[in-house]
C-alpha cells in the first residue's frame, strides 16, 4: 500500500483538520490530522490486523476514495487509462463552429475585427458549406452514436452570420431528434447583436447558454473593446443582456491585462447590482493573449495574424482557451487570475474553482473545431494557423494535415509533468499557449501556482460547507 500520487492536502489549523483531495477520483474529504497522518505512515499488510477499529475504518475510507493505492505503478496505469478514455470517449460529441472570422469590434489586443481591411479578407461560411458541415456532422453522429451533441457557435463574431447559425441549429436539432440524442447549443459572442429574437429562435433548438465578453468596468471596457470609430460598446451590450436575461443562461467572460485588471472588481460590483445577477451562470476572466512589444515580454504572445502583409485567418482571441482551461503561463497572470476568482466568489457570483481546469478539448478526439471554409482543427486556438489544420469536412487531406493529425493524436504534454498531483485536472495546461509561446505544443504550459492557491480556496469552501 502507498499514498496515491494524486493526493493533495491543505491544513485547516483553525479547525484542527486537513482537507484531502485526490485529483483522479475527485474525492474531497475534511479529516482529522490523525487520519491525514495515516497517509504518511501506512501500515504494512501484516500490521493492518493490529489496527484499532477507528484506524481500520479510516484506512478503508482512504482506500475507497483512491487516496491509497495497492501498487507503486497503479497510479501511472490509471493515468494512462484516464487519458485514453478521455480521448476516445464517444458519449459526447463536441463541435465548435466558426460561422465567420469577421468581427464588428476593433479590440486593441486583437488583430482581427474591424481593423483596416481585415474583414475584406476574413472568411465567412456560406450556406453551401454549412450544408456540407451538416452532412459531415450527421455522418459522425451515425458513426459514434453519442448520447449528447454540444454545438458551440464562435468566430469572429458568430452573430454576423445568422443564416448559417440558424440553418445548422435547425438541421442538427432535427438530426438529434431523429437519433434520440440530447443537443446543446452555446454561443460565444461580443454581445452587440444579441437580441431576444436570436435567443427565441435558438431556445427551442436546445440553446444552453450565451457567453458575452466584458473587459472591465464601463470605461475600461470601452477602451479595450470599441467599435472602429472608437465608440464604446459597454452600454449597448448591457442593454442587450437585460433584454435576454431570463430567456437563457448568461456567462460573462473578460480579457484582462496589466492596465485593466484592477477595474474588474468594479465590474463585479456593477454586475452584482443588476437585476439579472442571479441569472448569471458563470463568470471567468482570463489574460489577454498579445504579442510582445519590441524589447518587452508578452503576457501571452499571440500567434501573428498578419504574415507578409496578408492577414491570416484566425479565431477570436476573446476565447482562445475558452474550453475549461485558461491559456496562461505567466506567474503574474496566475496571481491575477486567482485574485479575480476570489473577488467574484466574495460577491456571491459563480465562477470556476480554479482547480478543475482540464483536460481541455484538445485531449478529446471527438471535440472538433470547424473553420468557415470547412477545415478541421483540434481546438479553437489553432484556427489561426492553416498549417495546424488536421483535415477537411470533405474528407480530403494532404500529407501535411495527416502529419499534423498524428501529432495531435500523440499529444501528451502531461507526460513531462513528472509526479505532479494536478495532472488529471490539468493535463499539462494549454497546448495552444505552449505552441505559441514555446513553439512546442508538447511542452506543459504550467500554471501550478494558480492551481495551488485555488486549492486553498476550495479547501476552505468545502470545509465551510461541512
Interface residue list for ligand SF4 (CB under 6 A): 320-321, 323, 325, 327, 360-362, 379-381, 414, 417, 420, 422-423, 426, 428-432, 444, 446, 448, 451
Q: Which of 190, 141, 223 is nearest to 319 (CA)?
A: 190
Residue 169 or 434: which CB sits closer to ligand SF4? 434
What's the closest the beta carbon of residue 433 comes to ligand SF4, in angstroms? 6
Exposure on the CB side of residue 327, measured as CA atoms within 13 A: 31
Residue 356 or 448: which CB sits closer to ligand SF4? 448
What's the closest the beta carbon of residue 341 comes to ligand SF4, in angstroms? 16
Residue 194 or 316: which CB sits closer to ligand SF4? 316
CA angle 42, 48, 50 (to 5 degrees): 120
- Sequence-distant contacts of 52-61: CB under 8 A, at least 24 apart: 58/31, 58/34, 61/29, 61/35
Residue 142: Cβ within 10 Å count: 10
What's the closest the beta carbon of residue 137 comes to ligand SF4, in angstroms? 19
What's the closest the beta carbon of residue 419 comes to ligand SF4, in angstroms? 9
What's the closest the beta carbon of residue 426 comes to ligand SF4, in angstroms? 3
What's the closest the beta carbon of residue 57 comes to ligand SF4, in angstroms? 32
**Burial class of residue 302, CB neighbours in 10 A (0-12, 13-18, 19+):** buried
Residue 381 or 391: which CB sits closer to ligand SF4? 381
What's the closest the beta carbon of residue 1 comes to ligand SF4, in angstroms? 25
What's the closest the beta carbon of residue 378 comes to ligand SF4, in angstroms? 7
- Cβ atoms of 9 and 455 within 8 Å: the answer is no
Q: Which helix (H) or strand (E) holds 8?
A: strand 7-12
Residue 67 or 422: which CB sits closer to ligand SF4? 422
Q: Which of 276, 288, 271, 279 is nearest to 346 (CA)?
A: 271
- Cβ atoms of 235 and 218 within 8 Å: the answer is yes
Cα 130 to Cα 56, 197, 348: the distances in Å are: 61, 22, 41
CA angle 328, 118, 194 (to 5 degrees): 70
Q: Which of 423, 413, 366, 409 is nearest to 79 (CA)?
A: 423
Residue 152 or 260: which CB sits closer to ligand SF4? 152
Residue 318 or 344: which CB sits closer to ligand SF4? 318
Residue 97 or 194: which CB sits closer to ligand SF4? 97
Residue 205 or 378: which CB sits closer to ligand SF4? 378
Cα 462 to Cα 18, 19, 458: the distances in Å are: 11, 8, 6
Q: Which of 173, 196, 303 is nearest to 247 (CA)?
A: 196
Nearest-angstrom CA–CA distance, 175 and 141: 9
What's the closest the beta carbon of residue 363 comes to ligand SF4, in angstroms? 8
What's the closest the beta carbon of residue 98 comes to ligand SF4, in angstroms? 13
Residue 302 DSSP code: P
Residue 183 or 455: which CB sits closer to ligand SF4? 455
What's the closest the beta carbon of residue 157 comes to ligand SF4, in angstroms? 19
Which residues lie closer than 8 Å to 157 by C-beta, 6 or more apart? 100, 102, 103, 104, 105, 189, 190, 192, 193, 316
Residue 130 or 333: which CB sits closer to ligand SF4? 333
Amino acid at each position: 500500500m502507498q499514498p496515491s500520487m494524486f493526493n493533495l492536502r491543505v491544513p485547516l489549523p483553525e479547525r484542527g483538520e486537513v482537507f484531502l483531495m485526490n485529483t483522479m477520483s475527485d474525492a474531497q474529504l475534511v479529516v482529522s490530522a490523525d487520519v491525514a497522518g495515516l497517509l504518511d505512515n501506512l501500515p504494512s499488510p501484516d500490521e493492518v490486523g493490529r489496527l484499532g477499529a477507528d484506524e481500520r475504518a479510516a484506512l478503508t475510507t482512504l482506500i475507497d476514495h483512491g487516496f491509497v493505492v495497492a501498487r507503486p505503478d497503479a497510479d501511472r496505469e490509471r493515468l494512462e487509462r484516464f487519458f485514453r478514455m478521455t480521448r476516445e470517449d464517444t458519449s459526447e460529441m463536441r463541435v465548435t463552429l466558426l460561422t465567420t472570422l469577421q468581427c464588428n469590434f476593433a479590440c486593441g489586443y486583437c488583430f482581427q475585427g474591424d481593423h483596416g481591411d481585415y474583414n475584406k479578407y476574413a472568411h465567412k461560411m456560406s450556406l453551401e458549406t454549412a450544408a456540407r458541415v451538416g452532412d459531415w456532422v450527421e455522418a459522425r453522429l451515425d458513426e459514434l452514436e453519442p448520447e449528447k451533441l454540444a454545438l458551440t457557435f464562435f468566430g469572429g463574431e458568430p452573430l454576423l452570420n445568422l443564416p448559417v447559425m440558424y440553418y445548422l441549429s435547425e438541421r442538427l436539432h432535427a438530426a438529434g431528434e431523429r437519433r434520440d440524442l440530447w443537443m446543446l447549443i452555446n454561443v460565444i459572442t461580443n454581445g452587440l447583436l444579441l437580441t431576444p429574437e436570436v435567443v427565441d429562435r435558438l431556445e427551442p433548438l436546445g440553446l444552453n447558454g450565451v457567453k458575452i465578453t466584458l473587459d472591465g468596468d464601463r470605461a475600461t471596457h470601452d477602451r479595450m473593446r470599441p467599435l472602429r470609430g472608437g465608440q464604446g460598446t459597454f452600454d449597448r451590450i448591457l442593454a442587450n443582456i437585460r433584454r435576454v436575461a431570463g430567456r437563457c443562461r448568461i456567462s460573462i467572460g473578460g480579457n484582462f491585462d496589466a492596465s485593466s485588471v484592477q477595474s474588474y472588481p468594479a465590474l463585479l460590483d456593477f454586475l452584482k447590482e443588476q437585476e439579472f445577477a442571479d441569472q448569471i451562470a458563470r463568470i471567468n476572466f482570463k489574460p489577454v493573449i498579445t504579442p510582445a512589444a519590441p524589447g518587452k515580454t508578452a503576457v501571452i504572445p499571440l500567434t501573428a495574424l498578419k504574415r507578409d502583409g496578408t492577414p491570416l485567418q484566425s479565431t477570436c482571441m476573446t476565447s482562445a482557451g475558452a474550453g475549461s482551461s485558461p491559456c496562461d503561463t505567466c506567474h503574474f497572470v496566475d496571481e491575477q487570475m486567482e485574485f479575480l476568482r476570489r473577488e467574484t466568489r466574495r460577491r456571491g457570483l459563480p465562477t470556476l474553482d480554479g482547480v478543475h481546469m482540464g483536460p481541455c478539448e484538445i485531449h478529446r478526439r471527438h471535440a472538433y473545431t470547424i473553420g468557415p471554409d470547412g477545415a478541421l482543427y483540434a481546438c479553437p486556438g489553432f484556427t489561426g494557423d492553416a498549417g495546424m489544420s488536421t483535415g477537411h469536412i470533405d474528407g480530403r487531406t494532404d500529407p501535411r494535415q495527416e502529419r499534423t493529425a498524428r501529432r495531435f493524436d500523440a499529444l501528451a504534454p502531461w507526460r513531462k509533468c513528472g509526479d505532479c498531483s494536478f495532472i488529471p485536472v490539468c493535463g499539462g495546461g494549454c497546448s495552444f499557449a505552449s505552441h505559441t509561446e514555446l513553439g512546442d505544443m508538447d511542452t506543459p504550459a504550467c500554471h501550478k501556482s494558480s492551481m495551488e492557491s485555488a486549492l486553498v480556496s476550495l479547501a476552505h469552501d468545502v470545509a465551510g460547507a461541512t
